[in-house]
Amino acid sequence: MNRPVKAVKRVLRRRKPAEPPALIRTPRPSLTYRLVSYLLVFPIYRLLFRGRTTGNSNVPMEGALVVVANHGSHLDPPLLGHALGRPVAFMAKAELFRIPILGPIIRACGAYPVSRGASDREAIRTATDRLEQGWATGVFIDGTRQNDGRVNNPQAGAALLAARAGVPLLPVAIINSHRALGTGSRQARLVPVHIRIGTPIPPPASRKRADLDQATAACQEQINALLDQGLISGPAALPAADRTALPPSP
Task: Name the pairing type of β-strands 112-114 and 136-140.
Answer: unpaired
Length reported for the chain: 250
Is the distance from CB of 172 to CB of 54 less than 8 angstroms?
no
- Give the tens place of pLDDT for each residue, 66-89: 999 999 988 888 888 888 888 888
Is the distance from CB of 136 to CB of 209 less than 8 angstroms?
no
Domains of the chain: 22-243 (3.40.1130)
pLDDT at 123 over 70: yes
- Give the tens place of pLDDT for each residue, 16-46: 433 334 456 677 777 878 888 888 888 989 9
Strand ranges, E, within the chain = 52-54, 65-69, 88-89, 91-93, 112-114, 136-140, 169-175, 194-197
- Cβ neighbours of 121 (radius 10 Å): 8
Provide the pLDDT for residue 94: 79
Q: DSSP letters along 47-86, please?
A: IIS--EEE-GGGS--SS-EEEEE----TTHHHHHHHHHTS
- Give the tens place of pLDDT for each residue, 210-247: 999 999 999 999 999 999 999 998 653 343 333 333 33
Q: Is the pTM of this model over 0.75?
A: yes
Confidence of residue 176 (pLDDT cuts 50, 70, 90): very high
Closest by Cα among 219, 126, 129 to 169: 219
Is the distance from CB of 142 to CB of 183 less than 8 angstroms?
no
Provide the pLDDT for residue 150: 96
DSSP, collapsed to helix, strand or coil, labels residue 21 as coil
72 vs 64: CA distance, rounded Å: 25
DSSP, collapsed to helix, strand or coil, labels residue 196 as strand
